Amino acid sequence: MKKLSSILSIAFLSLLMVSCGDDDTKTSKSGGAMAANVAERVYVAPGEHDEFYAFISGGYSGNLTVYGLPSGRMLKEIPVFSQFPTSGYGYSEETKPMLNTSFGFVPWGDSHHPDISQTNGETDGRWVFINENNTPRIARISLETFETEEIIEIPHSAGNHSSSFVTENTEYVVAGTRFSVPYPQEDVAIENMKGNFKGPLTFIAVDDEGHMKIDFQLKMPGFNYDLSHPGRGDSHGWFFFTTYNTEEAHTLQEVNASQNDKDFIAAVNWKKIQEYVANGGGEEIDAEYAHNVYDHETHAATSTMMKKVLTVDPREVEGAVYFMPTPKSPHGCDVDPSGEYIVGNGKLSTDLTVHSFSKMLKAIENKEFDGEAYGIPILNFESTLAGTVKEGGLGPLHTEFDGKGNAYTTFFISSEVVKWKLGTWEVLDRQPSYYSVGHLMIPGGNSRNPEGKYLVSMNKITKDRYLPTGPELEHSAQLYDISGDKMELLLDFPTHGEPHYAAGISADKVKANSRKIYRLDENKHKYAALTEGDTKMVRNGNEVHVYMTTVRSHFSPDNLEGIKVGDKVYFHVTNLEQDFDVPHGFAMIGANTSELLIMPGQTKTVTWEPKKEGVWPFYCTDFCSALHQEMQGYVRVSGKNSNVPLKWTLDGE
Ligand code: RUQ
Ligand code: CUA
């Protein structure tokens, strides 16, 4: 196996050498009429809207970026797991609790897999979920406000990678651990890993409002759980997880975790376990994890530390978990729109292994087992095998579906997207990607009803695709038209951070519900000033609360006195605008935090600890009107022991 991986890396290197800089391989060279035709197909005229939203993970930016398809125009970056000075997310007092964890305040995250909520197996446009890998968490983002509304930490997990995929009615969003770890955590010798570490898979129930609650944690053997997808149709009620490192190696995994010819896809009958826990099954154990919720009425988040989690031993629930042997350290685990086929992408292989759900059920019924792993039955490989896609390419990673009986798989090493037919397993088409594609996305491609018009590939290496920008280039996404027999590459566009995965949905399902303003008469923020008459300053020891408002083009108050060195000043700024797309900003000189960007009807708070006497200005950061540059004010800061009384005015009043 050591040999195989070095062969693969040589193949990969030589591929890069051939393709980079070799102009003949670039489709952008396709000239004349063809190029014009391609341009038309991605052109969205000024003022027109795109047909699809694409929510592309920001990887190590910790955020989620929103693009329009087919134009590839970036519409928004939504802060999720990372502080975001552009809006003040994670800096304002209201949003800091969103980034609270059992490890304290964690201002950064590594987000990988967005997934859109579903109803009856179709994307419904209510929320996007996205996982955080490093400090295991799942976030829920509202598609009404395009803001992060909730983050739940996943206890006992490490490297929350096989996440955050949702079941067909958003009953659950799942979080599987990538690293196996002591469960619960304890101080043990690393070399004692084998047989002792565990791989918890966490099932988080989602209610009608979207609120998340950990229902149970399945205490699986200590393998690495890489990716997952829910069953649908007949297989609704099951969840499938790829595993690797079934060797349970704790060092030099590039060699030691590639020893077994086959790892597993774990098939989990969550309906059975749901029933089991509903009837009092499972064991409550200690845990510590944060549950952070943002409220659009108070415009503020709260963080609650949870103390218990329900753990389930898979061996206690008869018939709930099986292993399907799958060759070569499978990465992606994808389920076709009918729910019958489960595709395992063995990343060290050239072939794809496709399991059949109905054959799996039969094999379970007939007890066609090949032994067991830690008490979990291993199904016979041939018994569940639906077929093999032969020689698709090198290094398969992920598969999506077009709803017309075709599947599309990315091959990292041979750097291509390959189209093949479900059922016959024949390869129909292949197109190069530039370069080294990871995930791909077809809007609705992880649902019963994919909208198979476009495919977006998300590539790990950019090289010569754009103007050079120093040693690092933004990652590259590519848009393919998949409406015909052959895929056609239409467009390159840069993405931000690392676009691991994306979720797409037709714009019609989202745009009508998009929020335009927050209503002032619904603002329940504790420190809101809903009219200019309500503005004031209140001293409480060395804390000063400023109730401030903004409207085009002034702050009220804009002259503040009576603040002293050593005070802690809270500026609670309410934006009185009730007009779409008119935020105001607030920036205070010397504040050790970011500005605020306050949406119409919203209240946000920034803290400032003045260090020096003087008269210090603040201003609006968002160009809001012709008199934006006049939107400013002064704070007088006096000495520690001064007797200057609190005084707040606007135009002398
Ligand atoms: S991963 S490139 Cu983090 Cu989804 Cu496969
Ligand atoms: Cu308000 Cu600029």
The maximal CA–CA distance of the chain, rounded, in angstroms, is 87
Cβ of 500 closer than 6 Å to ligand 1, yes or no, is: yes
Q: Could you tell me the pLDDT band of residue 587, with boundaries at 50, 70 and 90?
A: very high
Phi, psi of 29 (to 5 degrees): -75, -15
∠ at Cα 479 (478, 482), nearest 5°?
135
Q: What is the pLDDT of residues 350-371, one digit of tens each?
A: 899 999 999 999 999 999 999 9
Query: What average pLDDT does the chain have?
Result: 94
Which of 562, 454, 369 shows the shortest CA–CA distance to 54? 454
Quickly state the pLDDT bin for 194 (edges 50, 70, 90).
very high
At 486, the pLDDT band (50, 70, 90 cuts) reads very high
Gap from CA of 462 to ligand 1 centroid (Å): 17
pLDDT tens string 197-236: 999 999 999 999 999 999 999 999 999 999 999 999 999 9
Strand segments, DSSP code E, in 374-446 are 376-379, 385-389, 396-401, 406-411, 416-421, 427-432, 437-441
Q: Which two tokens stand for residue 321?
A: 């978990």
Question: Tens digits of per-residue pLDDT, 416-438?
Answer: 999 999 999 999 999 999 999 99
Residue pLDDT, tens place only, 284-321? 999 999 999 999 999 999 999 999 999 999 999 999 99
Phi then psi for residue 629, to 5 deg, are -70, -15
Strands 559-564 and 632-638 turn out to be parallel
- Residues enclosing ligand 2, CB less than 6 A? 550, 553, 584, 620, 622-624, 628, 631
Residues 325 and 372: beta-carbon distance below 8 Å: no
Residue 14: phi, psi to the nearest 5? -70, -30
Segment 15-21 shows an average pLDDT of: 42
Which atom, in ligand 1's list, is nearest to the CA of 412? 2
Residue 7: its pLDDT value, please? 42
What are the b/e assignments for 418-446, b being 16+ CB within 10 Å?
Answer: bbbebeebebebbbbbbbbbbbbbbbbbb
Q: Which of 160, 244, 347, 398 to mutate to test the pocket of ligand 1 (most atoms within 8 A of CB)?
A: 398
Q: If pLDDT is split at 50, 70 and 90, which confidence band does 34 have?
A: low
Whether the pLDDT of residue 24 is over 80: the answer is no
- Whether residue 430 has its Cβ less than 6 Å from ligand 1: no
pLDDT band at 36 (very low <50, low <70, confident <90, very high): confident
Nearest ligand 1 atom, CA 460? 2
- pTM equals 0.94
Query: Does ligand 1 lie within 6 Å of residue 438's CB atom?
Result: yes
Is residue 31 over pLDDT 60? no
For residues 177 and 180, give the distance between their C-alpha atoms in angstroms, rounded to a whole number.
7
